[in-house]
Chains A and B, each alone.
Chain A
Amino acid sequence: MKDKVKEVLASLLKVKIEELKDDVSLQNSIGVDSTEMVESVIALEKSFGVKLNIKEITKNSTINDIASTIQSKLAK
């Protein structure tokens, strides 16, 4: 799950996968901006087939946070 999240974000935002850290926020790892966050939420929704809220996945989310949010949605 974490690897797929990283793949989706790296390909969307044109950053290297290594730049995305499991336990560092997107803000602190790649300096994501608010428009990139909107894009990221839409891309993750499409890739995982879940409905996400922009309040659930934010600049302060880590890869671990994002993966567990998606995991819990998929489990429902």
Chain B
Amino acid sequence: MEKIAITGIGVVSPSGIGKRQFWANIKSGRSFIKEITRFDASKYPAHIAGQIDDLEKYSHISERLLKKIDAFSHMALVASELALQDAGIDIKNEDPNLVGIFLGNAIGGWLYAETELRDLYLEGREGVSPYMASAWFPAAPQGQVSIYYGIKGFSKTMVSDRASSLMALGYARKVLYKNKLNLILAGGMEAPVTPYALLCCNTYGALSTRNDDPQAAYRPFDKGRSGFVIGEGSGIVVLENIQRARSRGANILGFISGYGTTCDGVDRINPASDGKELARAINMALNDAKAKPEDIGYISLDGLAVDLWDNSEIKALRLVFADALKNIPVSCPKSMFGNLLGASGALDMIIALLSMEHSLIPPTLNLDTPVLRDINYVAKQAREYKVNKSLIVSRGRGGINSALVVEKGSI
């Protein structure tokens, strides 16, 4: 399958809003994990997160619209606008029937939902906002982005737990390849820093409870790992066919060249311990990209910081890359700002693009003592390294595996 050009980046994250601010913080290896302040979370076993406090400052969304939408749609609208600006695209000049939206998220818009459900039980049905029905559900951001820009082309929302946004990017490429559309806004958004969503994440049992030292809590692949930390935000990119991107003189920031996905089929929550199906997904992505394992210059890890997940991820990499693995730098930058669940893959891909552009690989924080050795971890601080092709790994509960290959752009 043909490569697809990435021509604009929009990022809304605890590590910064807009790609310049985001990259400055990512390359410096600064942690943005802190105690949750949005509500009193002190009684939750895990009450730390990557939280966005200044979205309004960057937002172009009216108060009239804000009261109708959940935070995850708001983040998607801001990220979409940033991506379009970065790509130099004015949607008014596009054929709306040939623009699409492919976004992923895992949990929907719970801040809106839980607030209104509380009012339903306290005040009865008249206490519930009529927007509740259209604000909470996972496809709401797709709808809001389409309304905002008048986009009318083939679009989809992917819900595949934490693999959702990487899957959205993979499918968006397929649709562009088939020439059904001119351009696609693709990526994901997630807003899990809410009382009920945080409760669900706590119930899952995989969150780090190292509340006394938030910045040290998320430690993927480290001996002292104790689970992950949630984060909120959105990563959305503009995808176009290469010919179109070149003919309009766009800055091509990178290319999506391969995608693969498989299911483990072993457990409701956990992945298979052998990593074989993840390895198959990675091989599918490499074959799709016409890349050999040794062509990959950087691997962005899923890194849940849970024994079974981390170990099976490394097993999969060993199955695919064998001896070549020790030469390939790997890292899990989400340790700096939290795991954005369904939006995590999109953020990882954006980081990989920026890493290739700047020849600088961002670190995994808190990786003091790797559990599995002989892996070329980039830990604690960024490493200068020239990369032309990167592999992104993103996985979801129930054994969802996805892998994407991105290549350096033409800047």
Contacts and interface: CB of A to CB of B under 8 A. Distances in A.
B93 interface: no
B241 to A, nearest CB: 35
Given A38-B130, A39-B129, 13 more contacts: A13-B64, A14-B62, A14-B63, A14-B64, A14-B66, A14-B67, A15-B64, A35-B68, A35-B130, A35-B131, A35-B134, A39-B130, A42-B126
Interface in A35-49: 35, 38-39, 42
Q: Is the interface of A mostly helix, strand, loop or mixed?
A: helix
Contacts, number: 15
A48 B66 CA distance: 26
Listed from nearest, the 6 A-B pairs whose CB atoms lie closest are: A14-B63, A14-B64, A35-B130, A38-B130, A39-B130, A13-B64
Most buried by B among A15, A35, A38: A35
Main secondary structure on B side of the interface with A = loop
A39 B64 CA distance: 13
Interface string A1-45: 000000000000111000000000000000000010011001000
B74 to A, nearest CB: 14
- Bin chain B's interface residue count: 10 to 19
6 contacts: A13-B64, A14-B62, A14-B63, A14-B64, A35-B68, A38-B130
Interface string B132-174: 0010000000000000000000000000000000000000000
A42 B124 CA distance: 13
A17 B129 CA distance: 22
A2 B66 CA distance: 27
Contacts of A42: 126
A59 to B, nearest CB: 15
B131 to A, nearest CB: 6
B337 to A, nearest CB: 31
Nearest to B67: A14
A14 B67 CA distance: 9
Contacts of A13: 64
Contacts of A14: 62-64, 66-67
Interface string B56-73: 000000111011100000
A38 B62 CA distance: 20
Contacts of B66: 14
A29 B82 CA distance: 30
B146 to A, nearest CB: 15
A39 B128 CA distance: 10
Contacts of B130: 35, 38-39
Contacts of A39: 129-130
A65 to B, nearest CB: 22
Nearest to A38: B130
Interface in B36-75: 62-64, 66-68
Contacts of B62: 14
